[in-house]
């Protein structure tokens, strides 16, 4: 019969831990003095405690361990618990590895360039959303800019605020042909079949933007002139983290476009659908 301190020393755990396990019913003392409340343990309880510790080492929670201590537990049940846990560990291993690559690429970037530009790339998922857009194949960036401003202006005027959500540009990057093949329009707060006529034969038509589960995004402040740095930041990030581009890039205008041409102040979120590289 040992008091809790000595038993704790033998088993290399803390007294607090033993009291905790007692409280959870995982390991009850062999005897409790009714007068003093002192817990007394015997060496016969060491195997049980060690089994608890061993299962804990495997990553199981104390709650999961409880049932596994009963004698009538079958190897099959134990096996299935372990298999479950294995899957969990494999997942978390991959996450940790990703984190590690991630950090290493940041450190390398700091060493190389003196700063970490792509610190602001974050991964998110987007739900499907109704989209009211115009397809246009532009020849130049200037043409894109003019078209976006036109759509923005007409959209703001003709789509009622309760339906209109945010101005977006979606690349139809089938192949990087000479032309910029874009969908320019507004996401909607709810499905709708309206169409909006702009300047003659240009019409915004309803469609749906599909959901994307993993999307590398960056919020870019400032002018178009600097946009390439944001794009390259995302590109580096994607490469450094072993992803690859898996779809059409989107640009979401987070603010209404106001002021002089060029979108100088507008915050834009650039979104790249990605998937883990093979």
Partner DNA sequence: GCTTGACTTTGACCCTACGTCAAACGGCCA
Partner DNA sequence: TGGCCGTTTGACGTAGGGTCAAAGTCAAGC
Q: Is residue 55 at the binding interface for a copy of itself, with CB under 8 A as the rule? A: yes
Q: Which of 268, 263, 269 is nearest to 141 (CA)?
A: 263
Nearer to DNA, 61 or 94 (CB): 61
- Closest to DNA by CB, 162 vs 200, is 162
Least CB distance to DNA at residue 5 (A): 2
C-alpha 228, offset from chain centre: 24
Binding of a copy of itself by 69 (CB under 8 A): no
The reply on whether position 251 binds a copy of itself by CB under 8 A is no
Paired tokens of 90: 């494999």
Q: Which does 260 bind (CB under 5 to 8 A by kind): a copy of itself, DNA, none?
A: none
What residues between 85 and 144 interact with a copy of itself by CB under 8 A?
85-86, 89-90, 92-93, 96-97, 99-100, 102-104, 106-107, 110-111, 114-116, 119-125
Report, in Å, the least distance between residue 107 CB and a copy of itself.
5
Question: Closest Cα partner for 246 from 226, 270, 276, 273?
Answer: 273
Q: Please tell me what DSSP assigns to residue 221.
A: -
Q: Cβ(219)–Cβ(131) under 8 Å?
A: no
* C-alpha distance from residue 14 to each of 2, 5, 25, 29 (Å): 14, 8, 17, 15
Between 195 and 210, name the residue whose CB sits nearer to a copy of itself: 210
Per-residue interface string for the shown chain with a copy of itself, residues 190-229, x marking contact by CB under 8 A? ---------------------------xxx-x--------
Instruction: Give the phi and the psi of residue 148 in degrees, each rounded to 5.
Output: -60, -45
Positions in the binding site for DNA (CB under 7 A): 3-6, 14-17, 19-20, 33, 35-39, 56, 61-63, 161-162
Q: Report the residue from 179, 254, 264, 275 that binds a copy of itself according to the rule CB under 8 A.
A: 254
Q: In whole angstroms, how close is the CB of 97 to a copy of itself at the nearest point?
A: 7
Taking the C-alpha atoms of residue 99 and residue 105, their distance in angstroms, rounded to an integer, is 10
* Rounded Cα–Cα distance for residues 61 and 216 (Å): 34
How many helices (H) and strands (E) in the chain?
7, 13
From DNA, a copy of itself, none, which one binds at residue 47 (CB under 5 to 8 Å depending on kind)?
A: a copy of itself
Q: Is 192 helix (H, G, I), strand (E, B) or coil?
A: coil
State in Å, rounded, how far the first CA of the chain is from the last one: 59
Tokens 């817990």 map to which residue?
A: 39
Count the residues of the shown chain that bind a copy of itself, applying the rule CB under 8 A.
54
Q: Report CA torsion sign: 200, 148, 237, 102.
A: negative
Binding site for a copy of itself (CB under 8 A): 10, 12, 43-44, 46-47, 50-51, 53-55, 57-59, 75, 78-79, 82-83, 85-86, 89-90, 92-93, 96-97, 99-100, 102-104, 106-107, 110-111, 114-116, 119-125, 217-219, 221, 254-255, 267, 269
């Amino acid at each position: 019969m040992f008091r809790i301190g000595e038993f704790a020393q033998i088993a290399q755990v803390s007294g607090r831990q033993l009291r905790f396990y007692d409280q959870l019913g995982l390991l009850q003392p062999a005897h409790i003095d009714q007068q003093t409340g002192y817990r007394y343990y015997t060496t016969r309880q060491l195997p049980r405690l060690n089994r608890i510790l061993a299962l804990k080492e495997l990553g199981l929670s104390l709650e999961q361990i409880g049932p596994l201590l009963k004698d009538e537990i079958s190897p099959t049940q134990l096996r299935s618990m372990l298999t479950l846990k294995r899957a969990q560990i494999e997942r978390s291993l991959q996450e940790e590895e990703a984190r590690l690559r991630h950090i290493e690429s940041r450190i390398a970037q700091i060493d190389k360039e003196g700063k970490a530009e792509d610190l602001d790339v974050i991964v998110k998922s987007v739900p499907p959303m109704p989209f009211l857009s115009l397809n246009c194949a532009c020849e130049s960036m200037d043409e894109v800019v003019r078209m976006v401003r036109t759509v923005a202006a007409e959209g703001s005027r003709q789509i009622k605020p309760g339906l209109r959500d945010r101005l977006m540009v979606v690349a139809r990057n089938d192949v990087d042909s000479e032309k910029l093949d874009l969908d320019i329009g507004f996401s909607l707060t709810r499905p709708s079949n309206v169409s909006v006529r702009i300047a003659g034969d240009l019409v915004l038509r309803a469609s749906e933007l599909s959901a994307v589960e993993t999307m590398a995004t960056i919020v870019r402040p400032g002018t178009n002139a600097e946009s390439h740095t944001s794009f390259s930041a995302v590109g580096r990030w994607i490469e450094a983290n072993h992803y690859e581009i898996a779809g059409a890039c989107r640009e979401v205008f987070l603010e209404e476009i106001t002021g002089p041409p060029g979108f100088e102040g507008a915050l834009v979120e650039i979104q790249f659908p990605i998937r883990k590289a093979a």
